[in-house]
């Protein structure tokens, strides 16, 4: 199962908040009428108040950036549905009605005034290979590169004349190539009337400075620790508080990532990661044996993400800081690695992320990290 951010809704369905691009159309449908998240209320009020006064009261190009798993895309699609809804002028209406012609177009993914890049997929179009281990890690998900031709194909939509506002949603805008970014600059510099552009990114710092300078940024991902914890307690009333507190810290207070941690495959392998590292260091298991084990049990992304999380924790312990993962037996690591070794392993992991972009075989990447772990 691919990692997604979700919460239980009253009808016991799931609202997904974070998926690799392109997302499923069914996921977009769930975002359109999702519950407004507590930490997004101020920004929502700003958007709706200004939009009702005049579409020109909002910036024509908006950056929605922040940590994965905080409900950014749900916020944007919820606003898209509300902005297009033919009943949105009703007093205190804070959610699209779901029944008017515009809402029905959105549900069917046929709204003539909405352009999405990449376009959502139908369920039948997303068919992973049989027996393929799917990534469950909440970050470093495989994304679709946005190329110059994608931006050029979008431009006629932006420039056309039409009745009413037109909205463009660009997912993971930091995945634009240099050519695509430069092509988008012209559109940003010469904004068309009645066009709103939303650029979403988990890592907005990776956008070109020239792009960022032409966007107005809004925060919908700033979550205080207690907000995240309270939200998870409401969504998972049967979960133990200590478990929720732990994943809350590990996720940097991204509640949907945190909730998925509790059920992800890689999270259940944390103690095995410790045991496996010690076995390789002590010579009780060869690097080839350890590599084979992880290849069979975790996707490469999950193994790399798990290793990053665990190395951060080892760094805390080495520096005599409180451990965030009190449910693990850290005494298995004897002797404790040196800080220089931990930093070296973190650098190896970053190199492997780069190797993946060059389509290096996954087996070589597992072997590379395990061999480096043997030396620490």
Q: Residue 166's beta-bridge partner residues?
A: 195
What is each CA distance from 107 to 198, 253, 316, in whole angstroms? 19, 31, 47
* pLDDT tens profile 175-203: 899 999 999 998 999 888 889 999 999 98
pLDDT for 93 beyond 80: no
Q: What is the largest CA-CA distance in the chain?
A: 71
The answer, yes or no, to whether residue 55 has pLDDT greater than 70, is no
Distance, in Å, from the CA atom of 164 to the CA atom of 172, rounded to the nearest integer, reads: 26
Q: How large is the average pLDDT for residues 224-229?
A: 95
Nearest to 251 by CA among 339, 325, 318: 325
Q: Which residues pair with 198 in a beta bridge?
A: 62, 169
The pLDDT score that the predictor gives to residue 358 is 80
Sign of CA pseudo-dihedral 319, 324, 329, 332? negative
Q: What is the pLDDT of residue 129?
A: 47
Distance between CA 329 and CA 326 in Å, rounded?
8
pLDDT in tens, 310-349: 999 999 999 999 888 989 999 999 999 999 999 999 999 9
Q: Which of 205, 207, 158 is nearest to 178 (CA)?
A: 207
pTM, full prediction? 0.82
Is the model's pLDDT at 105 over the cut of 60? yes
What pLDDT sits at residue 324? 87
State yes or no: pLDDT of 17 exceeds 50. Answer: no
- Say yes or no to pLDDT of 134 above 70: no
pLDDT of 138 reads: 59
Report which of 155, 146, 251 is spatially closest to residue 206, judged by C-alpha positions: 146
Q: Is there a contact between 195 and 157 (Cβ–Cβ < 8 Å)?
A: no
pLDDT at 92: 67
Which of 154, 161, 141 minimizes the C-alpha distance to 199? 154
Which residues are within 8 A (CB) of 166 and not within 5 positions of it... i.e. 6 or more apart?
Answer: 113, 114, 115, 157, 158, 160, 192, 194, 195, 196
What is the Cα–Cα distance from 114 to 109, expressed in whole angstroms? Answer: 9
CA–CA separation, 347 and 294 (whole Å): 20
Residue-wise pLDDT for 149-178, tens only, equals 999 999 999 988 777 899 999 999 998 999
Tell me what pLDDT residue 164 has: 84
Query: Averaged over 10-22, what is the pLDDT?
Result: 44
Higher pLDDT, 318 or 15: 318
Q: Is 258 helix (H, G, I), strand (E, B) or coil?
A: helix
Average pLDDT over residues 299-309: 93
Instruction: Judge whether residue 51 has pLDDT over 50.
Output: yes
pLDDT band at 125 (very low <50, low <70, confident <90, very high): low
The pLDDT, as a whole number, for residue 263 is 85
Tell me, what's the pLDDT at 12?
Answer: 31
Q: State the pLDDT at residue 144.
A: 74
């Amino acid at each position: 199962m691919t990692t997604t951010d979700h919460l239980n809704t009253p009808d016991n369905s799931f609202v997904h908040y974070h998926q690799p691009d392109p997302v499923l159309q069914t996921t977009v449908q769930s975002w359109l009428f999702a519950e407004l998240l507590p930490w997004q209320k101020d920004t929502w009020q700003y958007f709706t108040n200004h939009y009702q006064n005049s579409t020109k009261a909002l910036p024509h190009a908006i950056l929605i950036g922040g940590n994965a798993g905080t409900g950014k895309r749900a916020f944007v699609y919820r606003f898209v549905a509300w902005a297009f809804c033919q009943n949105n002028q009703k007093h205190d209406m804070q959610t699209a009605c779901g029944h008017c012609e515009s809402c029905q177009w959105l549900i069917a993914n046929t709204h003539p005034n909405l352009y999405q890049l990449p376009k959502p997929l139908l369920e039948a179009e997303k068919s992973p290979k049989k027996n393929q281990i799917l990534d469950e890690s909440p970050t470093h998900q495989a994304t679709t590169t946005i190329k110059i031709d994608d931006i050029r194909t979008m431009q006629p939509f932006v420039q056309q004349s039409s009745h009413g506002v037109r909205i463009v949603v660009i997912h993971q805008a930091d995945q634009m190539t240099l050519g695509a970014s430069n092509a988008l600059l012209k559109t940003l510099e010469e904004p068309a009337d009645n066009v709103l552009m939303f650029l979403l990114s988990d890592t907005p710092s990776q956008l070109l400075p020239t792009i960022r300078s032409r966007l107005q940024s809004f925060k919908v991902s700033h979550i205080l620790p207690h907000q995240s914890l309270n939200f998870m307690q409401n969504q998972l009333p049967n979960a133990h508080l200590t478990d929720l507190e732990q994943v809350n810290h590990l996720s940097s207070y991204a509640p949907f990532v945190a909730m998925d941690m509790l059920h992800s495959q890689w999270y259940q392998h944390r103690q095995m990661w410790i045991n496996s590292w010690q076995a390789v260091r002590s010579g009780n298991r060869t690097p080839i044996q350890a590599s084979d084990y992880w290849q069979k049990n975790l996707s490469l992304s999950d193994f790399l993400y798990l290793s990053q999380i665990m190395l951060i924790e080892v760094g805390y312990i080495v520096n005599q800081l409180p451990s965030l993962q009190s449910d693990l037996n850290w005494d298995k690591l004897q002797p404790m690695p040196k800080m220089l070794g931990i930093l070296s392993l973190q650098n190896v992991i970053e190199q492997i992320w780069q190797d993946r972009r060059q389509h290096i075989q996954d087996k070589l990447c597992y072997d590379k990290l395990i061999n480096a772990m043997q030396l620490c």
